[in-house]
Structure 1
Amino acid sequence: MLSLPHFGRELPRVTGERVVLRFPQKSDFAEWAALRRQSRGFLERWEPKWASDELERSAWHLRVRRYREEFFRGNGVPFLIVLKQTGEIVGGISLGNIRRGVAQSGQIGYWMGEPFAGRGLMAEAVRLVVGHCFGPLRLHRIEAACIPGNERSVRVLEKAGFTREGLLRSYLKINGMWQDHYLYSLLAEEYHVQEYRDQAVGS
């Protein structure tokens, strides 16, 4: 089991107003696969090329096992995004490439099922995962990268307070093609200033 105190021994769960972030389980396969299949045309242009067994149960079980290994090693924290009222899966968000030592940083990535896009659910999920990063995980810096043409993702990150640092040329191979990406970042001190201001406005 994991010995690092910042991760703990229980699988994480983060609750917001409309969505809950919870750890993926093997039993999620059918619902997860149905949403991914339904949203394939919506998602493929923003993701690495799907494997031939992408939506097969065996591949999902391997994925969940890898998620657990990464979590207990302290390398990553994957979440499914589910509706708080119904428990319905609407997407996913993950923190990966966690580096400790002098870096104390990680990278986030996310996807939203097409039927649930445009409702502000991803914006809430990003805020929740950011709070988890700068709270229990005690990270200093979070990074995110998105293709310049992905206007939805740009809006989500900028609304969450991320700063665009520059353009990463030919950064990731997306849908079979090397693509440029904007690099965004958010620092712990910036997040805490935002939280203080939000609390001041709400009080």
Structure 2
Amino acid sequence: MISQEITLQPIFEIPPDDLVNLYVENRTFLEPYEPKRPDIYFTRAGQIELLNNARRLWEEDSAYTFAICAHRGDHATPVPIGRMSLSNVVRGSWHSCTVGYFVSQHANNRGIATQALTQAVRFAFQDAKLHRVQAAIMPRNIASLRVVEKVGFHYEGLAKYYLNINGVWEDPRIYSVTPELWTGR
């Protein structure tokens, strides 16, 4: 169930203070699912550095990072409630990327991640002209596993010691989707 309309906006178009608020508000919630972050990550200076890097990577066709934005009530400006990243873009024979995302704790269980991932996959195939989007998800992250399955990703297997999450090398489940297999087109 989707309770509000969302859009994906290039993250470098979002005011840094809005992102600081998003990350600080969700720091504890995200900790079990993300790499360890230095304290500067949760500051305006840290976010400005990340935004500049996101713009550079976008321009280099290496990564596309979006803010998941909600359109609430009378606010003319969309409010960021999450992040969606198409990273590790490789062309040539692989022509693929990896995807990572989160939705703010207060916006969970409303279909927002499913809607945002659908938009990101559409962008990957139509705008970025990629052929494969891959997700690596911790088996304990049941909500995220449901999201990729709803969007049409296919399970490929378990990747041993694949990601360093919160200081521990983890074994995520690998999912992927290609235009040939995607039901959301």
Q: What's the TM-score once normalised by structure 2's chain length?
A: 0.91
> Is the Cα contact below 8 Å between 2:64 and 2:86 reproduced in 1?
yes
Structure 2: any 5+ residue segments left out of the alignment?
Answer: none
4+ residue segments displaced more than 3 Å: none
TM-superposed CA distance for 1:52, in Å, is: 2.2
> Is the Cα contact below 8 Å between 1:26 and 1:61 reproduced in 2?
no
Distance 1:89 1:174 in 2: 24
| 2:104 maps to 1:117 | no
Note closer, same or farther for the CA distance 1:27–1:164 as it changes in structure 2 (3 Å cut).
closer
How many residue pairs end up in the alignment? 178
1:79-129 superposed Cα distances (whole Å, 9 cap, x missing partner): 000013441111000101111111111111001111111111010000000
1:136 pairs with one of 127, 130, 141: 127
| 2:99 maps to 1:97 | no
After TM superposition, the structure 1 stretch with the greater mean CA deviation from structure 2, 86-95 or 23-32, is: 23-32
Structure 1: any 5+ residue segments left out of the alignment?
Answer: 1-16, 197-203
> Is the Cα contact below 8 Å between 2:35 and 2:167 reproduced in 1?
yes
> Is the Cα contact below 8 Å between 1:26 and 1:60 reproduced in 2?
no
> 1:172: which partner in 2?
163
| 2:69 maps to 1:82 | yes
- What pairs with 1:50-69 in structure 2 (closer than 5 Å)? 50-69=37-56
> Is the Cα contact below 8 Å between 2:63 and 2:85 reproduced in 1?
yes
1:133-181 superposed Cα distances (whole Å, 9 cap, x missing partner): 1111121111010101000110000111101100001111101111110
How big is the alpha-carbon RMSD for the aligned residues of Structure 1 and Structure 2?
1.5
1:157 pairs with one of 127, 142, 148: 148
TM-superposed CA distance for 1:195, in Å, is: 4.0
